[in-house]
Amino acid sequence: MILERFPWLSNSIDSYKDITFPAAIIIEGERGLAKSKLGKYFAQKLICSNNQSPCSNCNSCNYFLANSHPDFCFLSAESCSSVLHSYTKAKKDSLVSNKIEGIRALNEFMALTNSVSDRRVAIIYDAHLMNISAQNALLKTLEELPENKHIFIISNKRKYFLPTIYSRSHSISIKNPDDDDLNKWILDQGYIDFSTLNFAPDTTPLEIERLIESNMAGQYLEISQNLNSFCLGEITTPDLIKFYKEINITFDEKINSIVLFLKTYMGINKNFYKSHPSITLNNKVHLDTRLVSDLIEELIEYKFQLSKVPSLNEQIGLNNFFYKIKNLFI
């Protein structure tokens, strides 16, 4: 079932089909690649009582699927297994993957003797949110983890953790499917009116699905077409300001969309991305890509300042950047 739904995970699953699992595995990749599903699949496989695992029929699998297995726990950015509440006096809202209290409770759970299964397993979802203190707390457990204890560390960022955590873990890097495989997957999900051309380059499968299900699939094309027309002088600054004022996204997301447009332009210019029908600048405009890179950095810095001072005026900010973009493409 997992391969039918997430076929890009096949290589990772095959790699651990007939071998002994290491004590710790880091699963890394962009958001929207079903890394959490892979971690959960491996956890059930380790806990299952049958050789053909995961069978989903044995008592151990039944406990697991009911979220009540005594030898399994998880932490995420919002919550944790109820079993972890027994191992700490910390407040429940502290038992999450980005706080040291959650990691300490998980460590205590992993130190106990197994109850039902031959193995004890934990998953840390959203591990890319862990601070250094939480990572150091986890490291102490990884240094002493016996063969029948396993921890899966799920991260949306690559090479994020302390080098000592990597040295004590195996790593699985999940890559986005190529365009042909992704287009086939989109059709297999029943989305016959969509393809990768509807979305930004490198958009992941589950992010594509989210955008389609939330009726936001046309947003990327609409934004790209307007910015492309602006850069070609086909629409004015007031026209673009009006478009951005009416589009239903946050100011932060508006800045992101401009950064994405410029990055996509750069990627097409350098033949890193395939050409896109909504971005025709490469056929008509020649400019210094270094200046584009500088503007992208300025936008990212502005976004950082926006997080610190959310009251920054949206129209003034957009006017400023549209003026700079216009000067680039004159």
222 in the same domain as 165: no
Asked if residue 321 is part of any domain, the answer here is: yes
106 in the same domain as 14: yes
**What pLDDT, on a 0 to 100 scale, did the predictor assign at position 283?**
67
130 in the same domain as 228: no
Q: Which of 173, 208, 229 corresponds to the end of one domain?
A: 173
Structure tokens at 99: 């706080």
231 in the same domain as 159: no
Count of C-beta atoms within a 10 Å radius of residue 211: 20
Q: Which of 173, 189, 208 corresponds to the end of one domain?
A: 173
Instruction: Give the torsion sign (CA, 222, 219, 279, 317).
Output: positive
Structural domain span for residue 253: 218-328
Contacts 24+ apart (CB under 8 A), 206-211: 206/31, 206/32, 206/33, 206/34, 207/31, 207/32, 208/32, 208/182, 210/32
108 in the same domain as 54: yes
**What pLDDT, on a 0 to 100 scale, did the predictor assign at position 284?**
64
**pLDDT for 11-60, tens place per residue?**
999 988 876 789 999 999 999 999 999 999 999 999 998 877 788 899 99
295 in the same domain as 157: no
Contacts 24+ apart (CB under 8 A), 143-148: 143/168, 145/23, 145/24, 145/110, 146/23, 147/20, 147/23, 148/114, 148/118, 148/119, 148/120
169 in the same domain as 67: yes
SS3 (DSSP) at 75? strand
Place of tokens 């490291």: 139
Contact between 165 and 26 under an 8 Å Cβ cutoff? The reply is: yes
Instruction: Give the torsion sign (CA, 320, 324, 329, 330).
Output: positive
- Work out how many domains the chain is built from and give that number: 2
Asked if residue 204 is part of any domain, the answer here is: no
Asked if residue 16 is part of any domain, the answer here is: yes
234 in the same domain as 114: no
In Å, how far are 43, 178, 268 from 31, measured between CA atoms? 20, 16, 23
149 in the same domain as 280: no
Go through 34-66 and write b for each residue having 16 or more CB atoms within 10 A of its CB, e for each that does not: bbbebbbbbbbbbbbeeeebbeeebebbebbee
CATH number, position 52 = 3.40.50.300
Asked if residue 209 is part of any domain, the answer here is: no
Alpha helices in the chain (DSSP H): 2-5, 10-15, 35-47, 59-65, 100-111, 132-142, 163-167, 179-188, 205-213, 219-231, 237-246, 251-269, 281-284, 289-308, 314-328
Asked if residue 118 is part of any domain, the answer here is: yes
**What pLDDT, on a 0 to 100 scale, did the predictor assign at position 330?**
65
286 in the same domain as 167: no
SS3 (DSSP) at 261? helix
Asked if residue 283 is part of any domain, the answer here is: yes
Rounded-to-integer distance, Cα 298 and Cα 318, Å: 13
Structure tokens at 277: 């029908």
Asked if residue 320 is part of any domain, the answer here is: yes
Asked if residue 292 is part of any domain, the answer here is: yes
Beta strands in 76-181 (DSSP E): 120-124, 149-155, 170-173
The number of CA neighbours under 13 Å toward the Cβ of 247 is 23
165 in the same domain as 42: yes
For 54, residues 6+ apart whose C-beta sits below 8 A from its C-beta are 41, 44, 45, 47, 48, 61, 64
Contact between 246 and 238 under an 8 Å Cβ cutoff? The reply is: no
133 in the same domain as 20: yes
Contact between 176 and 30 under an 8 Å Cβ cutoff? The reply is: yes
Give the residue from 56, 71, 55 showing the smallest Cα distance to 118.
71
Residues of the chain with confidence (pLDDT) below 70: 19, 283-286, 330
